[in-house]
């Protein structure tokens, strides 16, 4: 959607943060943070590329770096792609949501 709404190539940082926000907002309330990109409850998240350092979250309790373009993780480093894996649990187990096809029946649609 970001590509469809942009006249130019979208900023990669914006794409990463939009991806993280879109997936976490289904079950949580991500807020902007004073020190990083997002705060969810007592946790702080900084989203970035594989070279993102920890300077921005140093000294913050429960702080994590969400890195794109990595395969391995550490104590405070998580792979951004793993949040894409959350979608199955979000829609099937935790909230009992069901993915339904879009209805093609337009008779009852309000205009």
pLDDT in tens, the chain (111 residues): 788 888 999 999 999 999 999 888 887 889 998 889 999 888 999 999 999 999 999 999 999 999 999 988 888 899 998 877 765 554 554 444 444 444 444 454 454
Cα–Cα distance for residue pair 32/30, rounded to 1 Å: 7
Cα–Cα distance for residue pair 77/99, rounded to 1 Å: 31
H or E element in which residue 48 lies: strand 43-48
- The whole-model pTM stands at 0.73
Cα–Cα distance for residue pair 100/97, rounded to 1 Å: 9
Terminus-to-terminus CA distance in the chain, angstroms?
A: 25
């Amino acid at each position: 959607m970001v590509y469809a709404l942009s006249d130019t190539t979208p900023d990669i940082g914006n794409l990463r943060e939009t991806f993280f926000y879109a997936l976490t907002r289904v079950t949580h309330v991500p807020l902007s943070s004073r020190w990083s990109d997002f705060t969810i409850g007592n946790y702080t998240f900084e989203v970035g590329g594989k070279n993102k350092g920890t300077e921005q979250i140093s000294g913050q309790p429960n702080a994590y770096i969400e890195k794109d373009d990595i395969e391995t993780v550490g104590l405070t480093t998580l792979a951004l792609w793993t949040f894409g894996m959350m979608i199955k649990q979000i829609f099937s187990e935790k909230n009992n949501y069901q993915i339904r096809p879009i209805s093609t029946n337009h008779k009852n649609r309000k205009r």
